[in-house]
Amino acid sequence: MSQALLVVDVQHGMFTIDVPVYRGEELIVRLQDLIARARTAGTPVVFVRHDAGPGKLLAKGTPEWEIHPGLAPQADDLIVDKNRPDSFWNTTLQEDLQARGITDLVICGIQSDVCVDTTTRRAASLGYRVTLVADAHSTWNNAVLTAQQVIDHHTQLLTRFADVKSAKEIHFFGKDSTENN
C-alpha cells in the first residue's frame, strides 16, 4: 500500500480576486503543514492545477494559474494540469498514480463543492482508499449558503466516499506501508 497527498487547485488566482477563497490564509498554513509532514514521511505530493481557458482567471500560463507561492512545489512533486472539475478526466493523474503504486489518497484543496467533491468521488470510484481532510478544503459563499455551510455540507456528504479526518489526525506513511491512514 502506498499513499499520496493530492492538493487540488490551490492556485494564486483563488487568493487575489476581489472575494478570495474563504479562510484562505488559514488554508495555506494548514496545507503547508500537511505538505511538510507528507514530504517528511516520504509520501508523494501531487498538485492539481486547473486551466479555465483563455481570458479566464485561471488561464494557463498566467500568474493566477500558478500554484499558490506559499506552497512552492518541489522538483520531485507531481503537477497535473486539468480543465474539468474531475482531476482524473483527460489527465495523466491515474497513470501517474498507478506508476507509483499509489493506493491511498489524502485529498485537500479548493473548491469544496466542485473540484474537491468531484475528484473525491472519482478517486473512490476508481478504487482508491480516500481520506478527505475536513479542515483543509475551502470555497466561497453562494446564493443560498455561506462558505462554511458549503464546506460542512460537502464534508458530511463525502463521508459516503471517503474517510474524513482533520489535518491533525492525518498520518502519512511511506511507500509499501502496511499502515492505514
Query: Active-site positions?
Result: 115
Helix (H, G, I), strand (E, B) or coil at 79: strand
Classify the C-alpha dihedral 33-37-38-42 as positive or negative.
positive
Cell of 117: 467533491
Q: What is the dihedral of CA 12, 171, 92, 114, to 10 degrees?
A: -50
- Please, are residues 138 and 27 in contact by the beta-carbon 8 Å criterion? yes
- Please, are residues 7 and 108 in contact by the beta-carbon 8 Å criterion? yes
